[in-house]
Amino acid sequence: EAEVAQSPRYKITEKSQAVAFWCDPISGHATLYWYRQILGQGPELLVQFQDESVVDDSQLPKDRFSAERLKGVDSTLKIQPAELGDSAMYLCASSLEGPQREQYFGPGTRLTVT
Protein backbone atom coordinates (compact mmCIF):
# COMPACT_ATOMS: atom_id res chain seq x y z
CA GLU A 1 0.00 0.00 0.00
CA ALA A 2 1.37 3.43 -0.97
CA GLU A 3 2.38 5.69 1.90
CA VAL A 4 3.60 9.22 2.45
CA ALA A 5 7.31 9.16 3.29
CA GLN A 6 9.02 11.68 5.55
CA SER A 7 12.60 12.10 6.66
CA PRO A 8 14.22 12.38 9.03
CA ARG A 9 11.92 10.82 11.62
CA TYR A 10 13.68 12.62 14.45
CA LYS A 11 15.81 15.75 14.50
CA ILE A 12 17.57 17.51 17.34
CA THR A 13 19.05 20.90 16.60
CA GLU A 14 20.31 23.88 18.51
CA LYS A 15 18.47 27.17 18.37
CA SER A 16 19.60 29.52 15.62
CA GLN A 17 20.57 26.57 13.40
CA ALA A 18 18.89 25.71 10.11
CA VAL A 19 16.83 22.53 9.74
CA ALA A 20 15.05 20.93 6.80
CA PHE A 21 12.40 18.25 6.46
CA TRP A 22 11.56 16.21 3.38
CA CYS A 23 8.27 14.70 2.25
CA ASP A 24 7.48 12.35 -0.64
CA PRO A 25 3.71 12.13 -1.21
CA ILE A 26 1.75 9.23 -2.61
CA SER A 27 2.29 8.99 -6.35
CA GLY A 28 -0.37 10.90 -8.27
CA HIS A 29 -1.43 13.09 -5.37
CA ALA A 30 -1.48 16.68 -6.60
CA THR A 31 -2.15 18.26 -3.21
CA LEU A 32 0.47 18.30 -0.47
CA TYR A 33 0.15 19.71 3.04
CA TRP A 34 2.61 20.56 5.80
CA TYR A 35 1.29 20.70 9.36
CA ARG A 36 2.87 21.51 12.71
CA GLN A 37 1.52 19.59 15.70
CA ILE A 38 2.58 20.72 19.15
CA LEU A 39 2.33 17.96 21.76
CA GLY A 40 -1.22 17.62 23.03
CA GLN A 41 -2.72 19.85 20.34
CA GLY A 42 -4.30 19.42 16.93
CA PRO A 43 -2.35 19.86 13.69
CA GLU A 44 -1.96 23.42 12.42
CA LEU A 45 -1.75 23.86 8.65
CA LEU A 46 1.45 25.64 7.65
CA VAL A 47 1.32 25.40 3.85
CA GLN A 48 -0.73 23.70 1.15
CA PHE A 49 0.49 23.03 -2.39
CA GLN A 50 -1.50 22.25 -5.49
CA ASP A 51 1.12 20.70 -7.77
CA GLU A 52 4.04 23.14 -7.46
CA SER A 53 1.93 26.17 -6.50
CA VAL A 54 1.23 27.40 -2.99
CA VAL A 55 -2.55 27.73 -2.41
CA ASP A 56 -2.49 28.47 1.33
CA ASP A 57 0.42 29.64 3.45
CA SER A 58 -1.49 32.04 5.66
CA GLN A 59 -0.22 30.39 8.88
CA LEU A 60 3.39 29.95 7.74
CA PRO A 61 5.82 32.16 9.73
CA LYS A 62 7.49 33.48 6.62
CA ASP A 63 10.32 35.24 8.43
CA ARG A 64 11.86 31.89 9.31
CA PHE A 65 9.93 29.15 7.50
CA SER A 66 10.03 28.33 3.81
CA ALA A 67 8.56 25.52 1.75
CA GLU A 68 8.99 24.40 -1.81
CA ARG A 69 7.70 21.75 -4.16
CA LEU A 70 9.70 22.53 -7.26
CA LYS A 71 8.58 19.73 -9.59
CA GLY A 72 5.19 19.20 -8.03
CA VAL A 73 6.21 15.93 -6.44
CA ASP A 74 8.31 15.87 -3.27
CA SER A 75 8.59 18.84 -0.94
CA THR A 76 10.98 20.42 1.55
CA LEU A 77 10.12 22.50 4.60
CA LYS A 78 12.92 24.62 6.05
CA ILE A 79 13.30 26.54 9.27
CA GLN A 80 16.08 29.11 9.61
CA PRO A 81 16.88 30.01 12.30
CA ALA A 82 15.20 27.47 14.57
CA GLU A 83 13.75 28.70 17.86
CA LEU A 84 12.88 26.80 21.03
CA GLY A 85 9.16 27.22 20.26
CA ASP A 86 9.56 25.32 17.01
CA SER A 87 9.85 22.03 18.89
CA ALA A 88 6.94 19.98 17.57
CA MET A 89 5.93 17.17 15.23
CA TYR A 90 5.93 18.21 11.58
CA LEU A 91 3.43 16.24 9.56
CA CYS A 92 3.17 15.94 5.81
CA ALA A 93 0.00 14.79 4.08
CA SER A 94 -1.12 14.34 0.50
CA SER A 95 -4.39 13.90 -1.31
CA LEU A 96 -5.93 13.70 -4.73
CA GLU A 97 -7.36 16.97 -6.04
CA GLY A 98 -10.81 17.94 -4.71
CA PRO A 99 -12.29 19.54 -1.58
CA GLN A 100 -13.60 16.34 -0.03
CA ARG A 101 -10.56 14.20 -0.71
CA GLU A 102 -9.05 12.15 2.10
CA GLN A 103 -5.67 13.31 3.34
CA TYR A 104 -3.07 10.59 3.80
CA PHE A 105 -0.59 11.46 6.52
CA GLY A 106 3.05 10.52 6.85
CA PRO A 107 4.69 9.39 10.12
CA GLY A 108 5.98 12.89 10.84
CA THR A 109 9.32 14.39 11.86
CA ARG A 110 9.73 15.12 15.55
CA LEU A 111 11.85 18.22 15.98
CA THR A 112 13.52 19.14 19.26
CA VAL A 113 15.23 22.51 19.48
CA THR A 114 17.71 22.88 22.36
Partner 1 sequence: AQTVTQSQPEMSVQEAETVTLSCTYDTSESDYYLFWYKQPPSRQMILVIRQEAYKQQNATENRFSVNFQKAAKSFSLKISDSQLGDAAMYFCAYSLYGQNFVFGPGTRLSVLP
Which stretches of the chain bind partner 1, using CB under 8 A?
Answer: 3-4, 31, 33, 35, 40-45, 48, 55-56, 58, 91, 93, 97-108
Long-range CB contacts (within 8 A, 24+) of 68-74? 69/32, 72/30, 73/24, 73/25, 74/22, 74/23, 74/24, 74/25
Q: How far is the CB of 15 from partner 1 (least distance, A)?
A: 27
**C-beta of 79 vs 91, nearer to partner 1:** 91
73 or 89, CB closer to partner 1?
Answer: 89
Query: Least CB distance from residue 78 to partner 1, whole Å?
Result: 21
Q: Which residues of 56-77 are buried (b: 16+ CB within 10 A; e: fewer)?
A: ebeebeeeebbbebeeebebeb
- Least distance from C-beta 26 to partner 1, angstroms? 12
CB atoms within 10 A of CB 30: 17
**For partner 1, which is the closer residue by CB, 56 or 83?**
56
Closest CB to partner 1 among residues 34, 82: 34
